[in-house]
Every structure is written in structure tokens, then in C-alpha cells.
Amino acid sequence: MSGDLRAAVREASRRLAAAGVGSADVDAVALAAHALASTPAEVQRLMVLGAPEPEGLDELVEERARRVPLQHLTGRAGFRRLELSVGPGVFVPRPETEVVAGLAIRACEGFDAPVVVDLCTGSGAIALSVKDEVPAARVHAVELSGLAVAWASRNRDDLGLDVDLREGDATSAFPELEEAVDVVVSNPPYIPVGAVPLDPEVRDHDPELALYGGSDDGLAIPLAVAARAATLLRDGGVLVMEHADVQGESLPAALRATGCWADVHDEHDLTGRPRATVAVRAPRLAP
């Protein structure tokens, strides 16, 4: 690498682009910010001032060029208003899931103290954002992977957000909350089995448990999670579930076919792709 910061960032961006990193310019600045224990805005300022290249930037760029996720190198992932700690063993929260969390937050409107459950919480991104943006909500979250639970509980403690976090299976979680929940939100694993992601960051670094939906169409686990949501929600409660862009018709259709859901519709993410199904718990028939 060359001696000054501006040249080092330019060279980093070139190397990352050559390695197939789509966001090479942004990542180069983010890695420089991490090496300087500073912010991207400060890096831009220091580049204008002709500051020297920080120690460690070369090694960070080398790792990123080997397609280690940016967030694993910085240890941080921004999600809505929060900065989360992430690393090996936990799914890195995605921008499209910020929209899904927003739908859950919108579903809380009109309640004084909604009971909210996040099934498959990973780093805790959705559950913690709901608690951050709807402070009166009583938020519960469950996650199967012990490693992911450790990241989520670190995030909860660092952020000081009061979320009931448990290790366990989403398909049988929270027996004490059956028919008592106002909003269930979930970003479950939904990639069709056999559809191995092309991006090395996802394929080689996100946990398998976080990716694959357990069937050829990827919907086995989402539908098992939705069945649990149907048990947890009170009549009229709302389910918000993320899905793959190719599941924008199949997931709503599968939910309608169960007879448990009313007002089933699909929502798009900020790139205009089908991303989340929203459904209302249909009234249970009198015994």
C-alpha cells in the first residue's frame, strides 16, 4: 500500500473491485474508518487533509478481498437506528430486513403496550429495533443457535433494551403466550435447499442454519414458524414474515390455504422486490 490515506483508500477500492466486491468504494472507506477507530465522514475529511495511511488497513483490505464480510471485519452492522455487534456464528442483518422490522413497528400502532414476538431473532436486530422504536412494547425473541443467542444477548445488554430473549425452537416457543400476542415478526431461513448463494460472504460466512428453508421451495421452515405464529397470536393479531423475492406469491398462497389467516398481502422492499408477507390472525371458530 502507498503512504497517504487518500492513495491507500483509492488502492483499496481498486483491489476490492477486482475481487468482485460490489460496494468497493464504500467498503474501502469503512475499512479505513475501522483502522482509524473513526467514522467514514472523518475518513473523508482526513483524506482531504492528506493524513497518513493507518496501520492495519492493508490486512483488512486483504481479508475483504478474500470476501470475508465487511461486518465481520468491523464487528459492527447498522440496522435502522441501532449499531449491532456481529461476527462469526450469527447472520449479518440485511437492509431489506429493516423494511420488515418497519412493518412490525407499524403493526404496533394503536396499541398502548403491544406484545411482540420475534421468531428466529439471530443478532436480535428486529426485536431490538421494535423495542427501541416502540418503547412501551413487551418484546420477546427466540433463536435456536446458541452462538447467535450470545450475540443477541450482547447486543441487548450493550444497547440497554429490555427484550425477553430465549434460546429455543421457534416452532414451539413461548407456550405461556399462546393467543396473547399482538404482533409476530419473523425473518426465518427461507433459501430453497440446493440453491446455494453465489456471494461468498453469504455462502461461506452466514451460518447454514440461518439460510436454508428446509425444502425445495424453501418454505418448510417459514410455514412451520407461521403455524406457531397462528397459535401465539390473538384473533386479529398481525404476522409479518420476510421471504425470498421468488416467494412473493407462494408464501401468501400457502398461508391463505391454512385457513388461519385473513387480509394476507405482500409488501416490497426498497428495491421494489417482493420481500414480506403480512397477514391477520383470522378469528378462531367457537368450540
Ligand X SMILES: C[S@@+](CC[C@H](N)C(=O)[O-])C[C@H]1O[C@@H](n2cnc3c(N)ncnc32)[C@H](O)[C@@H]1O
Q: What is the biggest distance separating any 2 CA atoms in the chain, rounded to whole angstroms?
A: 76
Tell me the CA distances in angstroms from 230 to 42, 79, 254, 262, one per residue in order.
Answer: 48, 27, 13, 11
192 known member of a binding site:
no
Binding mask 131-150 for ligand X (x = CB under 6 A): -----------xxxx--x--
Q: How far is the CB of 90 from ligand X (least distance, A)?
A: 7
Is 155 assigned a ligand-binding role in the annotation? no
Question: What are 82's strand-pairing partners?
Answer: 79
From 24, 128, 170, 183, residue interacting with ligand X (rule: CB under 6 A): 170
Q: In which residue are the cell numbers 426485536 written? A: 127
Closer of 68 and 147 to ligand X (Cβ): 147
Q: Containing H/E element for 85? A: strand 82-85
CA nearest to 249, candidates 273, 274, 213: 274
Q: Is 91 in the site for ligand X (CB under 6 A)?
A: yes
**Any contact of residue 71 with ligand X (CB under 6 A)?**
no
* Shortest Å distance, C-beta 119 to ligand X: 6
Tell me: does residue 126 bind ligand X (CB under 6 A): yes
Cβ proximity to ligand X: between 77 and 238 the closer is: 77
Task: Kindly state whether residue 24 participates in binding ligand X, applying the rule CB under 6 A.
Answer: no
Q: Which of 85, 97, 129, 247 binds ligand X (CB under 6 A)?
A: 97
Residue 187 annotated as binding? yes
Give the alpha-carbon dihedral of 42, 48, 53, 57, to 10 degrees: 50
Burial zone of 43 (CB within 10 Å; 0-12 exposed, 13-18 middle, 19+ buried): buried
Distance of alpha carbon 223 from alpha carbon 208, whole angstroms: 18
The residue sitting closest to ligand X, measured at its beta carbon, is 122
* 172, 144 Cβ separation under 8 angstroms: no
Segment interacting with ligand X, rule: CB under 6 A, options 59-67, 107-115, 168-176, 226-234:
168-176
Residue 244 interacts with ligand X (CB under 6 A): yes or no: no
Identity of residue 111: F
Q: Binders of ligand X among 175-234, rule CB under 6 A?
A: 187-189, 207, 209-210, 221
Our finding on whether 121 is near ligand X (CB under 6 A) is yes
| Degrees to nearest 5, angle at CA 20 with 25 and 191 | 110
Name the binding residues for S-adenosyl-L-methionine: 143, 187
Binding-site residue numbers are: 143, 187-190
Residues that bind ligand X (CB under 6 A): 91, 93, 97, 120-123, 125-126, 142-145, 148, 169-171, 187-189, 207, 209-210, 221
